[in-house]
Amino acid sequence: MATHIDWRAWALSAGLGLLGAPLASAQLQVFACEPEWAALAQELGGEEVDVYSATHPGMDPHHVQAKPSLVARLRAADLSVCTGAGLEVGWLPLVQRRARNARVLPGAPGHFEAAAEVDLLDRPARLDRADGDLHGEGNPHVLLDPRRLEQIARSLALRLQQLDPENAHRHRARWDAFQARWREAEARWSRQSTPLRGRRAIVHHQEWVYLFDWLGIERVAALEPKPGVPPSLQHLSALAELPVADWVVVSPLDDPKAAHWLSARTGAPVVVLPHTVGALDGADDLVLLFDVVVAALLQALR
């Protein structure tokens, strides 16, 4: 994370050094499962946290190898900040078992799940991961709705105060500043995104549902017949018969072949959106991430 590197750079320039600095042990050690939660924890925790991100923007958070380095990081953590709702079910439980750190297990104050703080969309009547469905507990990709993100941020700020009462006043001040900045940005996005309302999108993976819920964009269909199941020619052919969508939305992680196939047949433009902080140039923090998303959707309409 850029913010993380900045902090390290600051520590170096302040002559604190990186190894064995007493300050480091005073910081809350944060294990973030995805770059967006690393960015949020860094924004809200400032100098009081040392944030590690288990994944980088080029990795699919559904599929991560439970490497020993992750185990070591979780073992040392005071707080884990993950998505939950089954997003990390393929790897995090294994890392948790191996790390043997009760401070960050479900139910402990050091365990934070973003999805537990908001209303989930696509929540099924019953848990079902049949046929490779990766979203059997409801859609876990809660990041891209600024309203939900504010709820998550508020809860995380409170958790930081709870875990680090000595610095509670600093955490509160950073939360106030974050909320003010966030609301200002949200008003700007609302103004800019008026032309997006009522538009129609086909997506590769169902990871834009919260974005569309916020922007009033209609979800037409997904190239994946089920979350995590690759597009088939039969499925794509059926989508080509639908009324033309305004975009075919993919992330930089998706194989774009299916999207381009559909685009060539229907004329709907393919638009690549960043799915997390750092996934595309310019999406370097949470505010910039939404700036890039809104701008890319508007640009593709022209």
Q: Which residues contact 251 (CB under 8 A, 6 or more apart)?
A: 204, 205, 207, 272, 273, 274, 275, 279
Tokens of 86: 């089954």
* Cβ closest to Zn ion, residue 134 vs residue 292: 134
DSSP string for 146-171: HHHHHHHHHHHHHHHHHH-GGGHHHH
Residue 203 or 292: the one with the smaller Cβ distance to Zn ion is: 203
CB of 120 to Zn ion, least distance (A): 12
31: left (phi over 0), alpha (psi -120 to 50) or beta: beta
Contact positions vs Zn ion (CB under 5 A): 134
Q: How far is the CB of 226 from Zn ion (least distance, A)?
A: 10
Minimal distance, residue 169 CB to Zn ion, in Å: 38
Q: How far apart are CA 121 and CA 210, in angstroms?
A: 8
Q: Which is nearer to Zn ion, 134 or 245 (CB)?
A: 134
Q: What is the DSSP letter of 50?
A: E
Amino acid at 166: E
Under a CB-based contact definition with an 8 Å cutoff, are residues 188 and 294 in contact?
no
Q: Which residues is 90 bridged to in the sheet? A: none
Closest to Zn ion by CB, 24 or 253: 253
138: left (phi over 0), alpha (psi -120 to 50) or beta: left
CB of 270 to Zn ion, least distance (A): 19
Q: Is 64 or 134 the residue whose CB approaches Zn ion more closely?
A: 134
CB of 13 to Zn ion, least distance (A): 40
What is the CA angle 164-166-170, rounded to 5? 85
Kindly state the smallest distance separating residue 33's Cβ from Zn ion, in Å: 13
Q: Which is nearer to Zn ion, 104 or 134 (CB)?
A: 134
